[in-house]
Structure 1
Amino acid sequence: MKLSKRVQQLAPSTTLAITAKAKELKKQGRDVIGLGAGEPDFNTPEPILRAAEEAMRAGHTKYTPSGGIPELKQAIVEKFRRDNGLTYRPEQIVVTSGAKHALYNLFQVLIDPGDEVIIPAPYWVSYVEQVKLAGGTPVIIRGEEERSFKVTPEQLRGAITGRTRAFLINSPSNPTGMVYSREELEALGRVCLEHGLVIISDEIYEHLIYGDQAHVSIARLGPQFYEQTIVINGVSKTYSMTGWRIGYAAGNAEVIRAMTSLSSHSTSNPTSVAQYAALAALNGSQEPVREMKKAFKERRDYVVKRIRNIEGLRCLEPQGAFYAFVNVRDVVEASGRFRDVDEWAKALLEEELVAVVPGSGFGSPDHIRISYATSMNQLEKAMDRIERFVKKYR
């Protein structure tokens, strides 16, 4: 059967390809260490699990409103007030089947064929593909490693054309872990305001910041920023709830209404039980979040130290999320064997049984992404193997 042009243009997910290969090797009984996962290794906290069970016992297993149950919308309103100093009404909130779904719906309701969306690189793999699925054109501006992978207002201004519709920013960043400061956000945001661009702010890692840097939502920077920004978030990373698939968006009521309508014709509603679990996550104790964050910081410090002690590897210290973005260009070139980082990462998996994600999928072909969302024991073994592999081909 003939496939549609829109789906034929999609690039395969680098992350999924590595994950599939790692799973295949594990099935063969091999001791594979996966450092590709974009999810916490902790189980969902016990109070959230109990809330889900109670919801099932209470009969909350039916359809819900397409945009989410009222109680969860109100909890999200309170979360924005408490954590971000932002005031939204429930009609400015839509609950979705994961933050990825919120982004997908947003692009679908904002973008017409030929519209352009400016995306900083390195970027999360799905941004580009979702813009293409909406008929839009991704316009990539590169955040150089020398500038901590951050883009400048001058770069943004230079990329704007008469077809530019939106600018997307992700802070803390996947894959780099870098965090934009208030001043940096304001400078970029003012360029967007000058040109009437929609600002899409993906804040899914907001609670996973490890240094003195604080998370700032660009929507908080003033009334105009608030009006022009759609904030994307969810419970997946903060509460170790990736499989529950609950995300949300907040912003302009007309846009949110359109996203809700789109959901009504696709998913009907986010999973009912998962919504009650998310309600418990947002309203309950945040101590599990603090405990996970503490563990991630310890792991980050260990991984960065080990990487910096391996000759030929370079790594900036990530300020947030749970990824180290490692420059391996020098070791790939010095090996004389590998054509590119993708081949190097494939060989690392086959020879040392360590799965990492090549940076090509993130628009940064000199790098690999290492997730430190796994146990310290696994990280120690993985770093030993990576060091051995690098020395082997030096």
Structure 2
Amino acid sequence: MREIPGAWRRAARGAGLLAADGTSVPTIFAEMSALATHTGAVNLGQGFPDEDGPAEVLEVARAAIAHGVNQYPPGRGMPDLLEAIAEHQHRFYGLQLDPHRNVLVTAGATEALAATLLALVDGPDDEVVVFEPYYDSYAACIALAGARLVPVPLRWPDFQPDIEDLRRAVTDRTRLILVNDPHNPTGAVFERDALEEIVRLAEQHDAVIVTDEVYEHLVFDAQHVPIATLPGAWERTLTISSAGKTFATTGWKIGWVSGPADLIQAVLAVKQFLTYVNGAPFQPAIAAGLRLPDSFFTGLAATLRDKRDLLGRGLRAAGFDVSTPRGSYFTVADAAPLGATDAAQFCRELPGRAGVVAIPLTAFVTGEHRGDYATLLRFAACKRTDVLEDAVTRLAALKS
């Protein structure tokens, strides 16, 4: 059999999808989803909603399809969506963007991340600092770009960056500092002193800051603070977000990146050779979504806060220790009080014991820090309230 191409091997190994001998191994996500299907368990493993987004947004997409908006959109994105993104950044954060120079529409945040890393990283001498555990795409894209991933561990229970760890990680070899805030998989929202230190270190070492802010409207107890709004940050920061989490349209894959025109142009030069363009009828729909009234966005956060609290109470009642998330869909729980020593094995047994599926946090970790997360599980609260209530009832079996 012909050998697997090198670029694919680098990306897969970077994401932990290849064993040391090069053989393919199944991802824990696929394994847990298959277990949910096989056992009839409630799947709180994968982080996507089980409800549709706002009717106003869906109707604009239907109308666009019906009226022939089905061919290639402009390469940067439809002008109305570019303008809506710029309006959104000003409305919520006070940032002034030229929609036609400072914004680029992408095939979801994941493509924005891939195009950014491929555009700005220049091979094995470059390092990319990430906060661990991390969204698995980060490691794959960094490996594909041929750079070195440098992790800064986020530790139980608050998952805040340790400033000294951060200072040791960022050096003159650092090309990018990749920040996910609010954070997947931990639900952490970074404190301002950590954000300010990231900016200071980026200036000191001439690094670019790349932020993944897809959960920006799912912050529960404070206002989201984009790094780009901090003093000295704008000129070296690319801000990435998407529609999927805010409008429950994860399958539409409409994302964007905003920032200085020269950095956006570099990302566009790569992006045009990835998907080229995407999602023509969905772009006007997301433009409409971004212009929804404030009550939609505050209501979204309030609803997810209530679901967080419901899930957290159920996990504590079942015997877990729980880290209360300040943002995102996710809650991290420690299964050690229930006798767990291996989170992955505990997750494999959980559907049979309690009829619920979770994901081990070790799925988001590669390398030396894996042992720090050995008994931690991630649960997703982005499901209907009745589904979460069912899961909580099932989890109670762990105490019996």
TM-score after normalising by structure 1 = 0.90
Structure 1: state its 5+ residue gaps.
Answer: 334-338
Please state how far the C-alpha of 1:89 moved relative to its aligned partner. 1.4
Give 1:191's aligned residue.
Answer: 201
Distance 1:298 1:160 in 2: 38
Counterpart of 1:173 in 2: which secondary structure? Answer: coil
Distance 1:113 1:17 in 2: 33
Sort the Cα spacing of 1:160 and 1:243 in 2 relative to 1 into closer, same or farther, 3 A. Answer: same
Counterpart of 1:275 in 2: which secondary structure? Answer: helix
Distance 2:282 2:374 in 1: 37
Match of 1:15 among 24, 29, 35: 29
| Residues 332 and 341 in structure 1, CA contact (< 8 A), matched pair in contact too | no
Match of 2:321 among 314, 318, 322: 314
Please state how far the C-alpha of 1:68 moved relative to its aligned partner. 0.6
Give 2:133's aligned residue.
Answer: 122
| Residues 104 and 130 in structure 1, CA contact (< 8 A), matched pair in contact too | yes
1:243-276 CA-to-partner distances (Å, cap 9, x unmatched) read 1110000112222112222222221202101111
Distance 1:325 1:2 in 2: 39
For 1:130-149, list aligned pairs within 5 A: 130-146=141-157, 148-149=158-159
| Residues 66 and 263 in structure 1, CA contact (< 8 A), matched pair in contact too | no
Distance 1:102 1:153 in 2: 28
1:277-306 CA-to-partner distances (Å, cap 9, x unmatched) read 111111233544433332211111121122
1:217 has 2:226 as partner: yes
For 1:48-59, list aligned pairs within 5 A: 48-59=57-68
Residue 138 of structure 2 aligns with an amino acid whose one-letter code is Y
| Residues 37 and 373 in structure 1, CA contact (< 8 A), matched pair in contact too | no
Q: Identity over aligned residues, as a percent?
A: 30
Residue 282 of structure 1 aligns with an amino acid whose one-letter code is L
User: CA-atom RMSD, angstroms?
Assistant: 1.8
Distance 1:276 1:192 in 2: 36
Structure 2: state its 5+ residue gaps.
Answer: 18-26, 366-372
Give 1:336's aligned residue.
Answer: none
Counterpart of 1:95 in 2: which secondary structure? Answer: strand
Give 2:187's aligned residue.
Answer: 177
Give 1:365's aligned residue.
Answer: 374
Counterpart of 2:45 in 1: which secondary structure? Answer: coil
Counterpart of 1:272 in 2: which secondary structure? Answer: coil
Give 1:283's aligned residue.
Answer: 291
Counterpart of 2:238 in 1: which secondary structure? Answer: strand
Counterpart of 1:318 in 2: which secondary structure? Answer: coil
Distance 1:286 1:54 in 2: 24
Residue 3 of structure 2 aligns with an amino acid whose one-letter code is K
1:325-370 CA-to-partner distances (Å, cap 9, x unmatched) read 111234344xxxxx61101101112443311111111223331100
Give 1:324's aligned residue.
Answer: 331
Match of 1:293 among 297, 301, 309: 301
1:228 has 2:236 as partner: yes
Give 1:302's aligned residue.
Answer: 310
| Residues 204 and 234 in structure 1, CA contact (< 8 A), matched pair in contact too | yes
Distance 1:163 1:386 in 2: 47
Please state how far the C-alpha of 1:40 moved relative to its aligned partner. 2.5
Distance 1:163 1:241 in 2: 38
Farther off after superposition, 149-158 or 258-267: 258-267
Give 2:78's aligned residue.
Answer: 69
| Residues 98 and 234 in structure 1, CA contact (< 8 A), matched pair in contact too | yes
Give 1:244's aligned residue.
Answer: 252
Counterpart of 2:130 in 1: which secondary structure? Answer: strand
Sort the Cα spacing of 1:260 and 1:20 in 2 relative to 1 into closer, same or farther, 3 A. Answer: farther
1:141-180 CA-to-partner distances (Å, cap 9, x unmatched) read 111115x111133211111334211111111111111112
For 1:327-342, list aligned pairs within 5 A: 327-333=334-340, 340-342=342-344
Sort the Cα spacing of 1:37 and 1:106 in 2 relative to 1 into closer, same or farther, 3 A. Answer: same
Please state how far the C-alpha of 1:206 moved relative to its aligned partner. 1.0
Distance 1:206 1:358 in 2: 24
Sort the Cα spacing of 1:309 and 1:354 in 2 relative to 1 into closer, same or farther, 3 A. Answer: closer
1:80 has 2:89 as partner: yes
Distance 2:321 2:133 in 1: 16
| Residues 153 and 191 in structure 1, CA contact (< 8 A), matched pair in contact too | no
| Residues 113 and 240 in structure 2, CA contact (< 8 A), matched pair in contact too | yes
Farther off after superposition, 300-309 or 4-13: 4-13
For 1:266-281, list aligned pairs within 5 A: 266-281=274-289
| Residues 66 and 261 in structure 1, CA contact (< 8 A), matched pair in contact too | no
1:103-161 CA-to-partner distances (Å, cap 9, x unmatched) read 01111101122121111112222211221111111111111115x11113321111133
Counterpart of 2:240 in 1: which secondary structure? Answer: strand
Question: How many residues are matched?
Answer: 377
| Residues 129 and 177 in structure 2, CA contact (< 8 A), matched pair in contact too | yes
1:369-390 CA-to-partner distances (Å, cap 9, x unmatched) read 000111222222222333323x
Counterpart of 1:145 in 2: which secondary structure? Answer: coil
1:177-206 CA-to-partner distances (Å, cap 9, x unmatched) read 111233331123212211111111111111
1:39 has 2:48 as partner: yes
Counterpart of 1:238 in 2: which secondary structure? Answer: helix
Distance 1:189 1:280 in 2: 33
Residue 140 of structure 1 aligns with an amino acid whose one-letter code is P
